Amino acid sequence: MQLDDRGAAAPLQEKVYNIIKEDIVNCEMAPGSVICEDVLVEKFGTSRTPIREALLRLQRERLVDIFPRQGTFVSQICLKDIYEIYQLRLIIEPQVVKIACRDLDSEVLGNFRDFFTHRAMGDCPYAEWFRQDRELHSYIVACSGNGYLQQIYAAIMDQNLRMRILAGKIPDRMRATNHEHIALLDALLAKDADKAEKVMASHIVSSRDGALRLELSGADKTRSCRGQ
């Protein structure tokens, strides 16, 4: 069985779900790609039941599309998805960073700044870079103290991370994002809530524009949504 530490303490169905979801969110299973149950049965060494339950759950989260008599696919990323996800981020994050600014731990912020100043500018693996990126944004939202907001934001970021990974592997965009993160962290370390709000909004707009450029170039599988 190919299950690993990503779901070691969870029931079988939860392990299967977690691993498939991680592969989709990290674009190891590309948008629009076919999901073959037979391949997953062999990979996990299990029956079809936990796999089908996991796929149905991922369908509800809009990460998987299931079409009778056609097959099961990783959900594609549409132009509409990009606009809607970044619209939500622009509504949420600039306000949250302003609210949470004074409650953020300076040591944690300093560790993030060190990463984006040094390691991220070097030969850092993509997976590590995107993990740190997501952890920074999630940490800021977590410091709002709003559990409902954290739950909503986690769902948004599952979708957004796929867009970020596809757009972020463009070297110029990754370098720009590092500088944006450093500017944001400097504002947070200075407890300058107004500046942090402006930097966050600018950062999200730049990220959105990078995803849109990639979509419009046709360089990935975001051009259309199956069934739409």
182 shares a domain with 115: yes
Q: Which of 47, 74, 101 is the last residue of a domain?
A: 74
What's the CATH number where 173 sits? 1.20.120.530
211 is a domain residue: yes
Q: φ and ψ at 222, to 5 degrees?
A: -105, 5
Q: Which domain holds residue 205?
A: 79-217
47 shares a domain with 107: no
89 shares a domain with 53: no
In this structure, what token pair is assigned to residue 184?
A: 């944001």
90 shares a domain with 41: no
> How many structural domains does the chain have?
2
Question: In angstroms, rounded to a whole number, what is the distance separating the alpha carbons of residues 201 and 204?
Answer: 5
pLDDT tens-digit map of 153-210: 998 998 888 887 776 666 677 888 999 999 999 999 999 999 999 999 999 999 898 8
Q: Which of 45, 74, 103 is the last residue of a domain?
A: 74
Position 147 confidence tier, pLDDT thresholds 50, 70, 90: very high
pLDDT tens-digit map of 9-40: 458 889 999 999 999 998 899 999 999 999 99
88 shares a domain with 32: no
Question: Which residues contact residue 133 at a Cβ distance below 8 angstroms, ignoring those fewer than 6 apart?
Answer: 164, 168, 177, 181
